[in-house]
């Protein structure tokens, strides 16, 4: 599977686990607290869309102390290269 493996020798994180999701969420929320307004997710097609939705859906709103409107959400850009040969479709990845 392109989603449950070591990709190019890199270890896989089991993002279906609450602990792993929490660590990723906490790190991203820390960056949001510093004023970060968006994230680029490299090789998103190698991650389960439901796991990404759970993580992104739990992120804090953007920090109003940095000039963002109340309730503003982080911009999430997911890199999904669809060569037409994939078993996954780019439209599975949305935010």
List active site positions. 42, 79
Answer whether 60's CB lies under 8 Å from 26's CB.
no
Token pair of 64 as six digits: 């109003």
Q: What does the radius of gyration of the chain's CA atoms come to, in whole angstroms?
A: 14
Give how far the C-alpha of residue 63 lies from the chain's centroid of Cα atoms, to the nearest Å: 19
């Amino acid at each position: 599977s392109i989603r449950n493996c070591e990709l190019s020798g890199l270890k896989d994180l089991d993002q279906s686990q609450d602990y792993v999701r929490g660590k990723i969420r906490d790190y991203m929320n820390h960056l949001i607290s510093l004023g970060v307004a968006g994230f680029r997710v490299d090789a998103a097609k190698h991650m389960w869309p439901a796991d990404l939705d759970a993580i992104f859906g739990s992120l804090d709103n953007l920090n109003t102390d940095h000039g963002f409107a109340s309730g503003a959400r982080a911009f999430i850009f997911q890199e999904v290269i669809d060569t037409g040969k994939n078993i996954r479709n780019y439209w599975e990845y949305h935010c």
